[in-house]
Structure 1
């Protein structure tokens, strides 16, 4: 208490805190009860959410382990729209792609094994017969000719396999230049004319002289070589293999048509598959020629398909951009 600037005294107010302590205790107990109740109420939700997240992850982990071990790994989709569902969907797509790749790998190994085993078995049989003295002297040259033919088939098969592997791996660069299509076709026809005449097949070309296309000259030559060679082999005697080309918009359309027995509509989409033969009775070739052509056309950003040739035979049609651009090409 102040009076005229002097302290005269003081007043001290006091109250017991027992009541406040009881209030604080009740509040703390209430808060603790509320927290415990909230925890108990949220525990099922926490457990469900944990399983919702960890369950798919555990299944993906188990599936990954089975795939790594080369075992079958069935997996059911999860139809949710959250992050786990999207992750699970992406994992399923990856799994399906891996299974498709593995199936293709197994199929390729089986086909290659079959293609290699057949000539090797023949060579082994011929050589063993000669070693056992079962081949008369006047037949030795004939047998050696058969051995040579089977050996050449193996050389062509391994060469085609390596070529196709490089194309599919993208390790074969293209040297793009402006190529006179008519000149390339004439060169290929000259190299294959003797084989065609031996089979009674006529080669004919209908290409504009000034038709040009941006392409790798060696690759374009290989495309026509494989296509014409294939057409001659599957043509009937007295038939004609006709090569034609035309400018269609910004693309060049090439056609190689034969007058053979033709291919069924169901088999036409499969003629570009590795080791596929529409005529199973024919053992000529490696079964990779059209696969290589398709890979080369794709590398040039072109398209290719097979169709019926009227009145009979098969026509292979492929288109290439007249002018190449963008990345992935080396210009000469």
Structure 2
């Protein structure tokens, strides 16, 4: 059965208060009862001792009985044989106490308050009685004992007043507990509703919600966690939107880049099909189609490569090899592309420089960074420097290109990012995936890459590959 949290809290708090009140009520009643009986016992012993102090004179006893009669107190005197000597009766009556209790009295021990259902005459009366021994003053011998009794009804009457007052207090406490339970439950539920309302706003896409945190209890801890969650969701949403914008931009760029070579290839094929291209231009047309086809293949391969790296579908075959030979070969391959932009590639590396890496992926990393440098450098120099220290091999690639701001440096590793959108149609920067692939591959190697750049002064990439 479903029950609102408000009523759960109210019932729980009400139950706790009622439990405490009931326990306190019973404890107080027990305490009052014990106190009443102890007070009666002390009072009855006081009467007995007063009579003993006046030598148990019959006149004094009768006067005392007259005074105490209004209180329902009765006085009885028994001799050492347990025979009643006061009040005097024609019939012989005894106290009816046990031999053990009689011996205690003979030894001077009073008998504390006890209850009887009959009096000494056999009448059905609930009484509370104390027994006080007395001794002959001259010899100190046990002479008998005094029994002073009071009706239980007198004690219970005073307890009844206490119970009535306690019941009235319980009723008022019940009303107070109900009000307090309502206020407490309302306060607790209001805090939950505050979180619930904020959660609904977040569910609807509002990530600017923040809950007040007073750092007082677990609800405030929950509010702090909620605020942290909302901040994370907000950042995630912003990142998703940013990535989505870049994905859309990439799709537009990719469509544009694919459309251009496909249009070229289709036009050339139609020209060849209809003999519209002179014989001496056909070979050149075939070369153009080959170049555009390679461009499409490169665009597709970069995307496939990036996805394989991200999903851990590639396995590195790491080995130690001569880094100089690889760098020299890459410089030769890219020198023509560099010269087309008026750039000069400079290799400064020891011929015996060793590196521990996957041969093909190491080459891919270097090629991507150098092509990025060529793309953003005109009529400049691109230097590739290699050296080693105690624990790693270090490759630095420095260009004198347009450089980047600090914000751009933080973003270059992101997929589809292009620092200079005006160059997005160059033949080496179609996808914006080159540096994203570099970072993934470097991470898989357990290596590191850092970037230093200033706008207008160029950029330096530093790669560090640990030894085996």
- Which TM-score tier does this pair reach, normalised by the shorter chain? 0.7 to 0.9
Counterpart contact for 2:202–2:230, Cα < 8 Å: no
Q: Name the counterpart of 1:263.
A: 403
Larger Rg: 2
Q: Name the counterpart of 2:305.
A: 163
1:43 offset after TM fit, Å? Answer: 2.8
Distance 1:148-1:43 versus aligned 2 partners, 3 A rule: farther
Counterpart contact for 2:369–2:397, Cα < 8 Å: yes
SS at match of 1:74: coil
Which deviates the most, 175-184 or 87-96? 175-184
1:206 offset after TM fit, Å? Answer: 1.2
Counterpart contact for 1:181–1:213, Cα < 8 Å: yes
Distance 1:89-1:74 versus aligned 2 partners, 3 A rule: closer
Counterpart contact for 1:253–1:317, Cα < 8 Å: no
Which deviates the most, 163-172 or 101-110? 163-172
Which deviates the most, 282-291 or 216-225? 282-291
Q: Name the counterpart of 2:443.
A: 298
Give the Cα–Cα distance (whole angstroms) in 2 for the partners of residues 246 and 185 of structure 1.
Answer: 12
Distance 1:155-1:275 versus aligned 2 partners, 3 A rule: farther
Give the number of equivalent residue pairs.
311
Residues 105-135 of structure 1: per-residue CA shift (max 9 Å, x gap): 31232122112221343356553797699x8
Structure 1 unmatched ranges of 5 or more: 67-71, 325-332
Which deviates the most, 85-94 or 144-153? 144-153
**Cα RMSD (Å) of the superposition?**
3.7
Residues 151-196 of structure 1: per-residue CA shift (max 9 Å, x gap): 4333222221222233344444433333432232123224334544
1:97 offset after TM fit, Å? Answer: 3.5
Give the Cα–Cα distance (whole angstroms) in 1 for the partners of residues 177 and 226 of structure 2.
Answer: 32
Give the Cα–Cα distance (whole angstroms) in 2 for the partners of residues 128 and 301 of structure 1.
Answer: 47
Which structure has more RCO (C-alpha within 8 Å, separation ≥ 6)? 1
Structure 2 unmatched ranges of 5 or more: 1-95, 101-116, 120-124, 128-150
Q: Name the counterpart of 1:75.
A: 208
Which deviates the most, 262-271 or 153-162? 262-271
Counterpart contact for 1:116–1:154, Cα < 8 Å: no
1:146 offset after TM fit, Å? Answer: 5.2
Which deviates the most, 243-252 or 86-95? 243-252
Q: 1:87 aligns with which of 212, 225, 229?
A: 225
Counterpart contact for 1:271–1:278, Cα < 8 Å: no
Give the Cα–Cα distance (whole angstroms) in 2 for the partners of residues 123 and 263 of structure 1.
Answer: 30
TM-score using structure 2 length: 0.56
TM-score using structure 1 length: 0.76
SS at match of 1:208: coil
SS at match of 2:208: coil
Distance 1:188-1:3 versus aligned 2 partners, 3 A rule: closer
Mapped pair 1:253 → 2:394 = yes
SS at match of 1:137: coil
Counterpart contact for 2:412–2:435, Cα < 8 Å: yes
